[in-house]
A = this chain, B = another copy of it.
Amino acid sequence: MLTPILDAGDRRPLYEQLYRHIRGEIEAGRLKAGTRLPSKRALATHLKVSVVTVEGAYDQLLAEGYLRSEARRGFFVQAGAQEPQPERGPAPNLHEPIRPSYRWDFSTGGVDTALFPFSTWAKLMREVLSGQEDRLLSTPHPQGVPQLRQAIAAHLYRFRGIRAHPDQIVVGAGSETLISLLVQLLGRQGAYGVEDPGYGKTHRILTSCGARVEPIPLDRQGLQVNQLDAHQVRVVHVTPSHHFPLGIIMPVPRRQALLRWAGEAPGRYIIEDDYDSEFRFSGKPIPALQSLDGGGRVIYLNTFAKTLAPSLRISYMVLPPELLERWRREFWFYSSTVPSFEQYALARFMEGGHFERHLNRTRTRYRARREALLAAARSSGLLETASFSGGDAGLHLLLWMDKRWNETELVERAAQAGVGLSPLSAYDLSPAPADRPPALILGYTRIAAEEMAPALVQLKRAWGF
């Protein structure tokens, strides 16, 4: 019979000691599946404890699946209790979506993590960890720790000309999280306009947050502001610094038209997603919508996913005063979604000038890659039948092809040759105009400069010209 050593002086109650002993025996395989355990009364008498004690232990073991009970027969060791096993695992055909990997990966959205200043970051994290225990563990400020919001405000002013008070900034676990908070803050009346073509994820997030979403067509200057009223848009999401994927930089007159639209009726807002504005390589600098806005209608949104690493999960937004007030009145209960550790480390990273240095280094590196890509395209002869656009800013280019080609076929042939790229049509929210030539999107953050020539030679060969 079971003979655990039960110690009444132990802090744990007797039933728990007994439960742990039996569980240990089962896990170690000394009590085999199917073994019948002594009755509660018998074990209680044997151990000189009350029946209630044994009952407590058996109940716990039953609850945790180590034992099963059979009416009138007693308690048995459950089969398979030795190790965690899914009782109802996911359906066997439930595989995770697989992302294919390519020899040359021109996908967008990633960054070259080799550029991340890992040792500096690790050093700052260590400093944070060793210095400020209390602040690190208590609930952070709902909008993010003040030190980080100050660093972001200073950065925005210096590098983007944006005047934002640290109080206006809300830090969050990625732009997706912030967009979902924005739907709650801005409400679900009217429609949310998104750029078409555009970043499909924004459409999906807005939709699944319960907003009605209307794709708004673009022209060469970006979003067609005169289409907003026809679609009853109240809130519009735009990427004026560098449209994704077309690469359009919205000129000032169009920006002003957008701001005028927002001012024409109460409750209209513009979400300015400045997701890769740090990477501008040429062309005239254009102020952010937020800087041009005199009416408090622009919510500025940006992320550290592109400039540092996607795994950090830190984005932020700048709320105009009226929305900030509503936020504090109605949504103050929300906790900050970013761990304090990361917030303090990032604040130090920015304060110490590391972020600026990292940006400069990254910009130089990506510029070299972009130039290598353009040079390789020229020397491969690819530009005899195709042309690039969208290269003044951001981290991808559009390769426009002759109309006799078919986007899907181009992508498939490239994939077979080890070159991964996306068709422009992957970002169409509604059918594209029939006369639009085929185009491919080439993100160049993940391919070394010296790999551009072999990649394009391979591409040209795969396409057979």
- A residues adjacent to B (C-beta < 8 A): 11, 13, 56, 59-60, 62-65, 84-91, 94, 96-97, 110, 113, 116, 118, 121-122, 125-126, 129-130, 133-134, 136-140, 153-154, 157-158, 160-161, 163-165, 167-168, 173-174, 176-177, 180, 183-184, 188, 200-201, 204-205, 208-210, 282, 284-287, 291, 296, 309-314, 320-321, 324-325, 328, 330-342, 364
Contacts and interface: CB of A to CB of B under 8 A. Distances in A.
Q: Which of A174, A183, A339 has the most CB atoms of chain B within a 10 A radius of its CB? A: A339
Contacts of A210: 183, 188, 209-210
Residue from A84, A176, A314 having most chain B Cβ neighbours under 10 A: A84
A94 B328 contact: yes
B129 A160 contact: no
Contact of A177 (B161, B177, B324): B177
A96 B200 CA distance: 36
A380 to B, nearest CB: 26
9 contacts: A91-B325, A110-B138, A138-B310, A173-B313, A174-B335, A184-B209, A208-B331, A310-B335, A313-B337
A320 B88 contact: yes
A236 to B, nearest CB: 20
A203 to B, nearest CB: 10
A176 B328 CA distance: 17
A138 B200 CA distance: 21
B116 A137 contact: yes
Given A328-B96, A341-B125, A321 B89 contact: yes
Given A184-B208, A324-B94, A337-B177, A65 B163 contact: yes
Given A133-B118, A324-B90, A341-B342, A286 B168 contact: no
Contacts of A312: 339
A165 B310 contact: no
Contacts of A94: 167, 321, 324-325, 328
Given A94-B321, A157-B84, A63 B286 contact: yes
Given A84-B154, A118-B137, A140-B311, 9 more contacts: A63-B291, A64-B157, A64-B161, A64-B291, A65-B163, A118-B129, A125-B129, A173-B313, A311-B339
B87 A163 contact: yes
A261 to B, nearest CB: 20
